[in-house]
């Protein structure tokens, strides 16, 4: 969500992303802008109703939950559920899988988005540039149910990709059945789906580079590579650092929908993530307490991660969310 807001701010050419020293608000300013605060009311109400109020459900992690008796009627067990979760041998595996897959996605997506933006930036035909941008942005809007079905068909042992391998004498690759390959399949298919969308931010950032700098560099004899290395990249690097840092706030979000569609028991050891485990425990196997504990741990770690990421981003790039 934070990333989407940032994208909107960047694409509007606004520098309204908070710098290290935000403007202080004063009582006088609040009085002057009371209409704006009034406009915030519906959003605040929605936030409280759908994000704050349900937080009481965290209590499920501390009780022996009986849905019929409800939270208040269930027996208090303190940290017993947490002990059970951390005692399970698969917990470490789940965290490892989640972090590895999420890290891979965050970094590769931003690298691919930046690289594609740089390529598009050099395209001199506006029509083609727009066409390429639209086509590469399309997959972002597809649900993983659709993309997953395509992936199953393309990457299966009898799919088009392995057909191509066979035609050139290469051995088949079990993209969806080999636990060593499956994490790469997840990361790369997600990068394919999202790199076009990621590029939107970088394209906006590139348009903010002062063209006079590029002209001056050209006059001074810098070639395309030189301009790219000395002007363009340094200009867009703070945005890249910011996006990666903010992405790290979602270090425990490895893509539930994608994994659920693509995984199978043969790849649980490297493909099962916290969210799919929570889904199986909570909604399929009825263990609400275990699912809640994992959710609480995810939320705490995510909170610490995003606070840290915001601070790091501010230090490195000067850009901060808040």
Partner 1 sequence: MSDTHLPKQVSRRDFLKLVGVASGAAVLAGCAPKIPAPTAAPTAVPTVAPAPTTAPVATTAPVPTVGPTPDANGCVVDWFPTYPPFEKYDPAIEIQVPFRAGLNYPVEGDSATNNPDYNLVVEQLGLKYVAAWEAPNSEYYPRLNNDLAAGTLPDAFRVGNPRLGQFIDIGAVEDITDVFEATASDLVKDRKGYPDSSIWNGVKRNGRIFGVAYLEDGIGSDNLAFIRQDWLDAVGLAAPVSVDDVTAAARAIKEAGLCEFPIGACVAMVTWQMAMDPIFGAFGSIPTWWLKGDDGTLRYGSIEPGIKDGLTVLNQWYQEGLINPDFVNMDESMAGDAVMAGQTAIFYAPWWIGHGLLPDLYAAFPEAKISVISNPAGPSGRTGRAGTEQKGNAMVFRAGLEPEKIEAMIKHLNWCTEVHVNWEEYQQYGEAFMGASFARGYEWDLDANCNVVLGLMPDGEWLYQQDLLWGYRGGTYPDWQGEIFRDMATWLEQDQSTLNMAQKFILGLKAKVDDMVYYNYAYDTLAEVIPNAFLGADTEAITAVKSDLLDLESTAMLEFITGARPLDDFDTFVQEWKDRGGDAYTQEVNAWAAANL
Residues near partner 1 (CB under 8 A): 32-33, 35-36, 38-39, 41-42, 45-46, 48-49, 66-70, 88-90, 152, 156-159, 172, 174, 176-179, 264-266, 268-269, 280-288
CB-CB contact of 199 with 136 (8 Å): yes
Closest CB 157 distance from partner 1, rounded Å: 3
CB-CB contact of 307 with 320 (8 Å): no
Q: Using CA atoms, how far apart are residues 293 and 305, in angstroms rounded to an integer?
A: 18
Q: What is the DSSP letter of 49?
A: I
Query: Judged by CB, which is closer to partner 1: 180, or 224?
Result: 180
Closest CB 125 distance from partner 1, rounded Å: 38
Query: Judged by CB, which is closer to partner 1: 156, or 235?
Result: 156
Query: Judged by CB, which is closer to partner 1: 179, or 224?
Result: 179
Closest CB 38 distance from partner 1, rounded Å: 5
Give the side-chain half-sphere CA count within 13 A for 27. 0
**φ and ψ at residue 122, rounded to 5 degrees:** -85, -10
Q: Using CA atoms, how far apart are residues 143 and 136, in angstroms rounded to an integer?
A: 15
Closest CB 36 distance from partner 1, rounded Å: 6
Query: Judged by CB, which is closer to partner 1: 54, or 225?
Result: 54
Closest CB 28 distance from partner 1, rounded Å: 13
Query: Judged by CB, which is closer to partner 1: 286, or 311?
Result: 286
Q: What is the DSSP letter of 125?
A: -
Closest CB 24 distance from partner 1, rounded Å: 18
Query: Judged by CB, which is closer to partner 1: 15, or 153?
Result: 153
Give buried/exposed letters for 204-239 (b at 16+ CB in 10 A, else e): bbbeebeeeebeebeeeebeeeebeeebbeebbeeb
Query: Judged by CB, which is closer to partner 1: 38, or 219?
Result: 38
Query: Judged by CB, which is closer to partner 1: 19, or 33?
Result: 33
Closest CB 39 distance from partner 1, rounded Å: 6
Residue 50's CB: how many other CB atoms inside 10 A?
9
3-state DSSP assignment of residue 174: coil
Closest CB 5 distance from partner 1, rounded Å: 20
Which burial class, exposed, middle or buried, applies to 201 when counting CB atoms under 10 A from its CB (0-12, 13-18, 19+)?
buried
Q: Please, where are the H alpha helices in the chain?
A: 2-11, 27-32, 34-47, 70-73, 80-87, 89-121, 126-141, 144-155, 160-167, 182-207, 211-219, 224-227, 233-248, 256-262, 268-271, 274-279, 288-317
Q: Using CA atoms, how far apart are residues 71 and 60, in angstroms rounded to an integer?
A: 6
CB-CB contact of 75 with 62 (8 Å): no
Closest CB 277 distance from partner 1, rounded Å: 9
Query: Judged by CB, which is closer to partner 1: 35, or 127?
Result: 35
């Amino acid at each position: 969500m934070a990333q989407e807001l940032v994208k909107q701010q960047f694409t509007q050419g606004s520098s309204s992303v908070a710098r290290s020293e935000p403007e202080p608000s004063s009582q006088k300013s609040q009085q002057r802008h009371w209409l704006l605060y009034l406009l915030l009311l519906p959003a605040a109400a929605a936030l409280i109703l759908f994000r704050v109020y349900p937080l009481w459900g965290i209590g499920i992690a501390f009780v022996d939950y009986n849905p019929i008796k409800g939270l208040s009627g269930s027996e208090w067990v303190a940290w017993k559920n947490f002990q059970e979760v951390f005692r399970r041998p698969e917990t470490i595996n789940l965290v490892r899988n989640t972090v590895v897959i999420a890290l891979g996605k965050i970094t590769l997506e931003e690298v691919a988005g930046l690289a594609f933006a740089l390529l598009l930036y050099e395209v001199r035909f506006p029509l083609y540039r727009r066409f390429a941008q639209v086509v590469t942005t399309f997959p972002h809007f597809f649900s993983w149910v659709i993309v997953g079905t395509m992936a199953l068909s393309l990457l299966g042992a009898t799919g088009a990709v392995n057909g191509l391998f066979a035609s050139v004498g290469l051995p088949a690759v079990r993209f969806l059945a080999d636990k060593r390959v499956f994490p790469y399949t997840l990361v790369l298919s997600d990068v394919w789906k999202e790199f076009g969308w990621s590029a939107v931010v970088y394209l906006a950032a590139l348009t903010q580079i002062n063209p006079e700098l590029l002209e001056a560099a050209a006059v001074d004899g810098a070639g395309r590579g030189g301009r790219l290395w000395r002007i363009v990249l340094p200009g867009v690097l703070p945005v890249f650092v910011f996006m990666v840092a903010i992405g790290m706030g979602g270090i425990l979000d490895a893509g539930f929908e994608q994994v659920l569609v693509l995984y199978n028991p043969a790849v649980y050891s490297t493909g099962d993530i916290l969210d799919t485990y929570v889904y199986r425990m909570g909604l399929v196997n009825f263990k609400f307490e275990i699912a809640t504990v994992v959710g609480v741990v995810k939320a705490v770690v995510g909170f610490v991660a995003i606070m840290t990421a915001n601070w790091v981003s501010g230090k490195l790039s000067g850009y901060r969310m808040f």
